[in-house]
């Protein structure tokens, strides 16, 4: 599983690495800046993309213009300073797949597992139909 960290501070990177290790995911972690984000997303597909609320104003125009067929394969996770972790309304408003409160990093492994399961459940039917259509071509 490829994970992209966008301008994530080292202390949070450690939590992310530990959480992914706890859920036994073999991970390739790459980091980038907001300036390098477009290239990183267009040339690779990442399962998880983490970024901070402070980067949100620069980040959101990039992912909202991103091709939907590729965006559906990725999970965008926003770290926020206020609000509940995994709040679906806040995620919807922010145009991301999940939000995690920065004060709740100790539960990050469980949050990531939940996010991955929810994403798979949400898009399972879509990907099955998409694959069937592609095979018919």
DSSP 41-57: HHH---SEEEEEGGGHH
What is the rounded average pLDDT of the residues 1-29? 87
Q: What integer pLDDT is reported at residue 92 of this predicted model?
A: 94
Joined tokens for residue 77: 């996770």
Please spell the DSSP secondary structure of 83-116, one letter per residue. S-TT-HHHHHHHTSSEEEEGGGGGGHHHHHHHHH
What is the rounded average pLDDT of the residues 121-129? 78
Q: What integer pLDDT is reported at residue 89 of this predicted model?
A: 96
Q: Is the pLDDT of residue 68 over 90?
A: no
Q: What integer pLDDT is reported at residue 8 of this predicted model?
A: 93
Whether the model pTM is above 0.75: yes
Q: What integer pLDDT is reported at residue 37 of this predicted model?
A: 86
Q: What integer pLDDT is reported at residue 79 of this predicted model?
A: 97
Give the Cα-Cα-Cα angle 51, 54, 58 (nearest 5 degrees): 75
The CATH superfamily label for domain 2-136 reads: Cobalamin-binding domain (3.40.50.280)
Q: What integer pLDDT is reported at residue 122 of this predicted model?
A: 83
**How far from chain centre, in Å, is Cα 31?**
13
Most confident of 15-29, 43-57, 79-93: 79-93
């Amino acid at each position: 599983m490829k994970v992209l960290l966008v301008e994530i501070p080292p202390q949070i990177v450690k939590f992310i690495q530990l959480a992914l290790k706890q859920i036994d995911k073999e991970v390739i972690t790459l980091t980038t800046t907001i300036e390098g984000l477009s290239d990183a997303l267009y040339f690779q597909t990442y399962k998880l993309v983490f970024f901070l609320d402070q980067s949100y104003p620069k980040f959101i125009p990039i992912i909202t213009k991103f091709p939907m067929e590729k965006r559906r394969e990725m999970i965008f996770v926003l770290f926020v300073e206020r609000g509940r972790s995994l709040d679906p309304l806040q995620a919807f408003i922010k145009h991301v797949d999940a939000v995690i409160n920065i004060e709740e990093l100790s539960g990050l492994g469980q949050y990531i597992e939940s996010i991955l399961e929810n994403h798979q459940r949400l898009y399972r039917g879509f990907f099955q139909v998409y694959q069937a259509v592609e095979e018919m071509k």
